[in-house]
Amino acid sequence: MEPISALFFSFCLLGVFLLLGKALRVAVRLFQVLFLPASILGGFIALFCGPYILDLLPSWVVQNWAQFPGLLINLVFACLFLGVALPGARAIWNQGGAQLCFGMVTGLGQYACALLITGLLLTPFFDVPAVFACILEIGFSGGHGTAAGMTEVFKEVGYPAGSALAQMSATFGILTAVIGGILVINITVRKGYRTMAAKADGKHPRPGSGLLAKAEGFSIARATVAPESLEPFAFHFSLVALAVLLGWAMLGLVRGLHPLLRGFPLFPLAMIGGLLIQALARPTRLDRYFDRDTFERILGFSLDLLVVAAIATIRLDLFVANLWPFLILMGTGIAWLMFTLIVLAPRMFPQFWLERGVTEFGMQSGVTAIGLLLLRLVDPQYDTGTAQAFGFKQMIYEPFLGGGLLTATAPFIIIELGPWWSLALAGGGMVFFWLVSMLNGWFRLRPWPGGGRRQG
């Protein structure tokens, strides 16, 4: 088969496994209760059909799939700021400052905890390199796409297994977000910590197949150009493609700065490309033709296919070879996130600690969508303002952590500085944001009486 035809049919086959994942969710009640996305289930079906278990798929299919996550992640990040109205700095800080400080402490803490356990235990006893610590934040806060996008980075720093392990880390992270988040919500709601208890009863999302009846359907996009001149979806995809190409142009400059940066990934620069297009479109009023819902459909489409491909091509041999250090690192990450949710959140949020904390927990261990899903379980009408605060925080957080510039450069930093100086750097960042939170009157040593005590 011609290479281009093989690539095309491999891409189409991803859609088949996505449908199988959806069918499995519809058929199995447990997956509905856990709110597991069809892309996760489809990815595991494909993994079982792959070379490490049933070996039913041709080798060329798996080889082509392995290339898709690293490409699709560029579309995901290019969409992040396209069609988003950029608010002023004061509005972002007033509404999202506390959320940002909590998020930065949580994200940097993933590096700090991972570097500490790697330096003290994993490297001496299991002989893993210091960059092994990166797979926690890349997988948990970054996700499958970020893990796939870091393939060249891990090769450049001499640890090619890192990307595959980070993809497995992302899978652990999503399970942690869903199962751990729902468990904490059930316990805290029973203890009366939900602020909007009276309004939320009976209105939170119920487990279900995810299939919408005709009457429940909703519009997923809005046309801003006439279809006879240019298909609206094609118009928006062209803008996303332009953002990726701008990032590609910047990539040559970044890689020329230092030999270690030769493996720097494209996806954070594609995000900057999208941000530049949005910023330039605003003064010319071209942004009125940007439909955010359409960009989100492109993002969601790319991400669903990315997750299927990423899980389907997980190197189980590398996972087994690194089983114990991997499980210890995952346990460390889960313990840290639980600590931030249960101990730090009531002290860093003067109001609505459960709502704000659980949203961050879902994002930091899974993906943004799971964070917002957990928020809907405790604040279905978004009455607490958490959704807005979280959105403002993401605008500052995403360019740096969770797949941003710091995530992309962390392996290079660890190689250059060593694990202990890198730990000091991550710890210093945590202390800085703790101090910012304290100076703004958001942090206190005891839980806030209005935000951390039982309600009503």
Percent of the chain topping pLDDT 70: 93
pLDDT confidence of residue 199: 46
- SS3 string of 10-42? HHHHHHHHHHHHHHHHHHCHHHHHCCCCHHHHH
Distance CA 176, CA 361 (A): 9
pTM of model > 0.85: no
What number is the average pLDDT over the span 204-228?
75
State which H helix or E strand residue 239 sits in: helix 232-255
pLDDT tens readout for residues 306-325 = 889 888 888 888 888 889 99
Question: Considering just the CA atoms, what is the radius of gyration of the chain in Å?
Answer: 22
Mean pLDDT over the full length of the chain: 86
The pair phi, psi for residue 195, each rounded to 5°, is -70, -45
81 three-class SS: coil
Residues 112/401, Cβ–Cβ less than 8 Å = no
Nearest CA among 312, 315, 302 for reference residue 145: 302
* Average pLDDT for 431-443: 94
Q: At what angle do helices 161-175 and 323-339 cross, to 10 degrees?
A: 40
Give the closest residue to 39 by CA, choosing from 60, 24, 54, 53: 24
- Report the percent of the chain where pLDDT is more than 90: 47
Is residue 382 packed enough to be buried (19+ CB in 10 Å), middle (13-18) or exposed (0-12)?
Answer: middle
What confidence score (pLDDT) does residue 327 get?
A: 95
pLDDT digits (tens, 9 = 90+) for 187-203: 877 777 666 544 444 44
Q: Is residue 93 over pLDDT 80? A: yes
Q: What integer pLDDT is reported at residue 195 of this predicted model?
A: 63
Q: Which of 378, 365, 428, 329 is nearest to 188 (CA)?
A: 378
Per residue in 326-383, pLDDT tens? 999 999 999 999 999 999 999 999 888 888 999 999 889 877 767 877 887 777 766 7
What does the pLDDT read at residue 56?
A: 93
What pLDDT band is residue 455 in, cutting at 50, 70 and 90?
A: very low
What mean pLDDT comes out for the span 86-95? 78
